[in-house]
Structure 1
Amino acid sequence: MHPTGEQIDLVAGATRAVVTEVGGGLRALSVDGLDRVETFDVEETPPMGAGGVLVPWPNRIAGAAYTWRGREYRLDVTEAARGNAIHGLLRRRPWRVAERADDAVRLAADVDASSGWPGPLHVETTYAVTPAGLTVTHALTNTGDVDVPAGVGTHPYLRVGDVAPADCTLTLAADRVVDTDERMIPTGVRPVTPDEDLRGGRRVGDLALDTCFGAAPGPDGVLGVLHAPDGRATALWGDENIRWVMVFTPDDLAGRGRAVAVEPMTCPADAANSGQDLHVLAPGETWTVRWGISPGGTP
């Protein structure tokens, strides 16, 4: 058994993706012969969260504790250095294949109330490829009898083929930035300064970010584009639920050198405590979130 379980191959024209059973994550994606995300070996665990699905919250919950409807809940500390709970409950669990075709797979997993969350959620993530790229759809259903909060995020690292990410330029459709404390917990949101504004593009090798931005996409929904020097590009887009984008530029991604994660999120860190863009599902309600990756900025 591989660390990420069964490897599910998807193909449509010149688009190919590999989805993992464990974590329900994205291990590989290529379009037109170019890698569009950082991949990792089948015998590796995902480095630095690569490709993970972050449910029922993305990013961090301060002190692994929060209060919901007057009751305090405690979670396992999964970021030991800062004492936080990070990236949800499902990224290391096996998902079930609910439906499968050559070009799409629907995976399912469940969050139960005993995990430290206020109520149960049934989660389905569908990966679908076309010759134009990848679309990912997350559907969360409240299967309990009380209101349940939720957030969704994912953790792709973008690439443009074999071009070193450090030599690429990142543009980001974002006009606000989140300030944080030493635990990476938000202390406020403010407009970007000229030095922080990535709408005009910045070379990835000149960035040192582990920063959450407020999304401000145009009508096409494009959130971020990684541009190679020769003009080729990889774009990440999202629907109206994707209101925040985390940009993370580690110096070395498990021996691969500088990388750049562009992480679509429905809410910022610690939303379980702040309530910022935290979605609330009534009993029986389903909430759907979509995002995707394509060449050249066209979803």
Structure 2
Amino acid sequence: MKTYSAKPLEKMGLQIYELSDSQSRSTVEIIPEAGNNLYRFECDGRQVMLSPDSLSALKSEPMASFKYGTPILFPPNRIKNGTYRFRGRSYRLPINEPPDHHLHGELCSRAWEVVGSGASQEEGAYLISRFRYADHPDLLAYFPHELVFTVKYRLYEGRLYFHGTIVNEGKEAAPFAFGLHPYFNIPFDAGERLTLNVPAKEEWPVTNQAFVTGLPSVTPFAAALNEGAALAEIPPLDCSLIALSEGERTCRIGIGEQGYSIAFRIGEGFPYVVLFRPDWGAAYSIEPYTCLTDPFNLPYGEELTGARGIEPGEVIKLSASIWVDSV
């Protein structure tokens, strides 16, 4: 009997891809035509991601592409007034969070192209999808750079791996700001003892929309994250921006009475995380970013903000992984 499988399925008129690992009782579901959203990850009977009540919502409901599963963000979070400058060029992004801001980009709502899938004992089950700016003239009209995003989701031995590759196929440097927005399914209303561990170096002061208001410092909350903060005490719509420590960078959400934790290992390409508790579902987000919110409009250097470019021909690789541990 094969341990792994990768297959297309149809649900509610939409094509999804299912990756499964029978030995760990793990299943992943991804919908390429709705932002390549990995909206379901179940491991040993535990629902790891917050999924929408209706799969069609990811395509039909306003802003639903930001609110469930694992949205892919380019740029992450908000751009104030949808405008910024990079190397002498002005950019004006559409205002999709009226009345003032651009939020999370459009990769999380557009259709991605599936370029490969498969399963083997050596590699597990995987899906490879791609998004090319050159295929979207309306996006090129305000972001004139031929970037190509390739994402490989891989399920192996009960662990879910994200491998992202971004290539600049254009002739000019492009502003680069990327993030992920996984919504982890958390039983806030079950009376559980919930803890949040993040390898925090410093905390940036931010507004409730994650806009930076000053320089970072070692705060009591940053210190608590290293020891295990009380997750249930964090109110809905609370937002924090954390600079991660170097070295091993695994975040954990502990669900005490049920005896397990959700582990989220963040690759070196993501120096920051936004921590956010939504008010539309029992979930918590640990969002790895390559930069701060609205980095190109901040009055600080690139070494602090992560406001970098991707040069012609340059390749950027990013990674992360998620799994469930018994405690």
TM-score under structure 1 length normalisation:
0.88
2:256 maps to what in 1? 229
Which one has more relative contact order, counting CA pairs under 8 Å at least 6 apart?
1
1:38 and 2:57 aligned: no
Within the candidate set 26, 30, 33, 1:15 is matched to 26
Q: Which of structures 1 and 2 has the bigger CA Rg?
A: 2
Deviation at 1:295, TM superposition (A): 1.8
TM-score under structure 2 length normalisation:
0.81
Aligned partner of 1:88: which letter? G
Deviation at 1:159, TM superposition (A): 3.1
1:240 maps to what in 2? 268
Contact 1:151 1:279 in 2 (8 A): yes
RMSD: 2.5
Hey, what's the Cα distance between the residues in 2 that align with 1:115 and 1:95?
A: 19
Alignment of 1:1-299 (within 5 A): 5-12=14-21, 13=23, 14-21=25-32, 22-40=34-52, 41-45=54-58, 46=64, 48-81=66-99, 83-102=100-119, 103-112=125-134, 114-159=140-185, 167=192, 168-181=194-207, 184-196=210-222, 197-208=224-235, 209-216=238-245, 218-219=247-248, 221-222=249-250, 224-230=251-257, 231-253=259-281, 258-274=282-298, 275=302, 276-296=305-325
Cα deviation digits, residues 34-89 of structure 1 (max 9, x gap): 112212232332475323443431111111001011121101011115x1111122
Match of 2:226, SS state, is coil
Contact 2:65 2:71 in 1 (8 A): no
Number of residue pairs matched by the alignment: 290
Hey, what's the Cα distance between the residues in 2 that align with 1:279 and 1:141?
A: 14
Greater Cα shift, 69-78 or 210-219: 210-219
Hey, what's the Cα distance between the residues in 2 that align with 1:3 and 1:60?
A: 32
Match of 1:198, SS state, is helix
Contact 1:159 1:226 in 2 (8 A): no
Q: 1:139 to 1:73 in 2, by over 3 A?
A: same
Contact 2:209 2:239 in 1 (8 A): no
Deviation at 1:158, TM superposition (A): 1.6
Q: 1:166 to 1:6 in 2, by over 3 A?
A: farther
| Unaligned residue ranges in structure 1 (runs of 5+) | none
Hey, what's the Cα distance between the residues in 1 that align with 2:208 and 2:285?
A: 21
Contact 1:4 1:20 in 2 (8 A): no
2:4 maps to what in 1? none
Contact 1:89 1:111 in 2 (8 A): no
Match of 1:272, SS state, is helix
